[in-house]
């Protein structure tokens, strides 16, 4: 029975890796991810994107929500999603979509990796993050929320999503910490995407002067610097070892 269970895990695990590889191949073949954060690309396609959004709001919302979940499951990074959602949906609806969908995607990835690749993750990541183990044992919600808030201390987004596998973090704690820990930095990035849309309506180019005089841009950037300062302080106090 144990051997049969192991075989099922192996088959599903290989299927996931196959889907991941094929999905990434076709994604990067069809889309240049840099375009999603490229100002000229966004500006030239602004009217088309926003017209489609206005005519198909519910459909685009559902499709983008599902895409975000799949994107996170495929180990994608969050920045393009946040910029795009702010640009298309605005900061409030944009953060609601991306924060919820990325939390769902991250949780599904956490469950998937924990079930199929726990030992591989422990062998790969345990030596690098061994000093966090005692902290997580004391209060996993607080420390993982803080860890998310400081951007994972520079760890890639995909690594942040699977790291708690090392500490056997309960799923409900993972969801709470991921949602609220990611919220500040994600909101600032979504607001920046929303600000870019506003600036495009007023300027043909995104210049230094347009940034300085536009609160839609400099306020999110200022917020990001404030978050970085708080993140630095939290890292020094709680993750100094």
| DSSP summary character for residue 38 | -
pLDDT at residue 178, as a whole number: 92
Q: Give me the pLDDT at residue 147, please.
A: 83
Query: Which residue from 64, 234, 73, 79 is spatially nearest to 147, judged by alpha carbons?
Result: 234
Domain that holds residue 115: 31-238
Tell me whether residue 127 is in a domain: yes
Q: Is residue 227 exposed (0-12), middle (13-18) or buried (19+ Cβ within 10 Å)?
A: middle
Report the domain count for the chain.
1
- What lies within 8 Å, CB to CB, of 129 at 6+ separation is 163, 166
Burial of 85 (C-beta count, 10 Å sphere; 0-12/13-18/19+): buried
Q: Is residue 9 part of a domain?
A: no
Q: 148, 230 in Cβ contact below 8 A? A: no
d(CA 172, CA 119): 22
CA atoms within 13 Å, Cβ hemisphere of 118: 12
- Is position 82 within any domain? yes
Burial class (CB in 10 A: 0-12, 13-18, 19+), 10: exposed
pLDDT for res 3: 44
Residue 62 lies in a domain: yes
Q: Is residue 18 part of a domain?
A: no
Running along the chain, 241 residues long, what does each successive block of 10 average in pLDDT?
Answer: 51 62 58 55 69 83 89 84 86 91 93 80 72 75 84 79 86 92 86 74 56 60 70 65 53
Is 176 part of any domain? yes
Unique residue bearing structure tokens 């209060």: 139
- The length of the chain is 241
Number of other residues whose CB lies within 10 A of the CB of residue 131: 10
Q: Taking the model in full, what pTM does it have?
A: 0.73
Which has the closest alpha carbon to 81: 43, 36, 39, 41? 36
What burial class does residue 64 get, using C-beta atoms within 10 Å of its C-beta: 0-12 exposed, 13-18 middle, 19+ buried? buried
In a domain, 76, yes or no: yes
C-alpha closest to that of 174 among 98, 93, 105, 241: 105
Give domain status of residue 126, yes or no.
yes
d(CA 72, CA 51): 27
CB 208 within 8 A of CB 199: no
What would the two tokens of residue 36 be? Answer: 């999603």
């Amino acid at each position: 029975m144990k051997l049969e269970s192991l075989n099922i895990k192996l088959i599903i695990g290989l299927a996931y890796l196959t889907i991941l590889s094929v999905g990434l191949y076709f994604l990067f073949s069809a889309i240049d991810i840099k375009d999603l954060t490229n100002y000229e690309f966004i500006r030239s396609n602004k009217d088309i994107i926003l017209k489609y959004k206005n005519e198909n709001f519910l459909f685009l919302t559902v499709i983008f929500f599902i895409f975000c979940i799949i994107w996170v499951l495929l180990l994608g990074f969050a920045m393009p999603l946040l910029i795009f959602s702010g640009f298309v949906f605005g900061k409030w609806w944009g953060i609601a979509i991306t924060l919820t969908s990325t939390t769902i995607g991250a949780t599904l990835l956490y469950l998937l990796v924990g079930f199929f690749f726990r030992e591989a993750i422990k062998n790969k990541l345990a030596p690098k993050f061994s000093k966090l183990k005692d902290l997580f044992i004391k209060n996993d919600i607080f420390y993982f929320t803080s860890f998310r808030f400081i951007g994972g201390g520079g760890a890639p987004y995909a690594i942040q999503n699977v790291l708690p596998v090392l500490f056997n973090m309960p799923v409900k704690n993972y969801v709470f910490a991921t949602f609220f820990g990611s919220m500040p930095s994600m909101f600032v990035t979504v607001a920046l995407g929303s600000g870019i849309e506003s600036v495009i309506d007023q300027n043909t180019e995104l210049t230094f002067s347009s940034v300085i005089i536009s609160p839609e841009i400099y306020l999110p950037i200022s917020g990001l610097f404030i978050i970085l300062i708080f993140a630095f302080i939290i890292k020094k106090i709680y993750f100094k070892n």
